[in-house]
Amino acid sequence: MYFNLVKIFPQPVLQTKLIIEPEWMKHINSIKFIRNVRNNGYVSTDFKILNTKKLKTLKSKINNVIKNYMEEHLKLSNKLKITASWVMKHVKNDFAQTHLHQNSIISGVLYLQTKKGAGDLIFARQNFLTETFAFDRIEDTALNTHQLAFNTEPGVLLVFPSNLSHYTLAMPFDNYERICLSFNTFISDTIGDGDNRIELNEVE
């Protein structure tokens, strides 16, 4: 008997690593933060942090990763621009609740300061096969699992569809800060053709 399992519609999460430059951290440690509305972390008051001159090289590197993600992995020719970028700090017991990124095509998170045990990034979904049953798994696989954790370390950059739910575990250490930079994107040129073509002005 012949069986052929076809795995369709996977979620594309790109993982890469950047070398964190000291001048990036010096600038990020100098900016203003406020406690976020959920009281589970600190967020920069600047939501276009990658537009600052001192992070120009970082923005360029992230843009190259976005281009690689779109063209080499998704095989899409649409150009994306970074529309929002901000920094999160988590101290002891801080965490990121389950969320997705609205008004964005793809999103990303770059870990600037973290260490083993400081809290993984976890992608999650609510249903498998049906939303009304909890199945007994023989083992967790990419097909049946409800969540997948990514171990993080300084320089790890993850790029993913903005509608993919994710969260982080609580940061457990005293006198330490887990710091990451997140960003959202949107189309900067055109999409579609014929009567469904939309032209969008490119904005740096």
- Per-residue pLDDT of 74-129, as tens digits, reads 999 999 999 999 999 999 999 999 999 999 999 999 999 999 999 999 999 877 88
Element (H, E) at 57: helix 56-68
Specify the pLDDT at position 133.
84
What is the mean predicted confidence (pLDDT) over 139-164? Answer: 93
pLDDT digits (tens, 9 = 90+) for 1-52: 999 999 888 899 999 999 999 999 999 999 999 999 999 999 999 999 999 9
Residues 79, 189: Cα–Cα separation, whole Å: 6
Specify the pLDDT at position 199.
86
Residues 52, 159: Cα–Cα separation, whole Å: 21
Element (H, E) at 124: strand 121-124
Specify the pLDDT at position 202.
54
**26 or 132: which carries more pLDDT confidence?**
26
Tell me which DSSP letter residue 136 carries.
-
Specify the pLDDT at position 203.
47
Specify the pLDDT at position 156.
97
Specify the pLDDT at position 180.
98
Specify the pLDDT at position 160.
98
What is the mean predicted confidence (pLDDT) over 50-77? Answer: 97
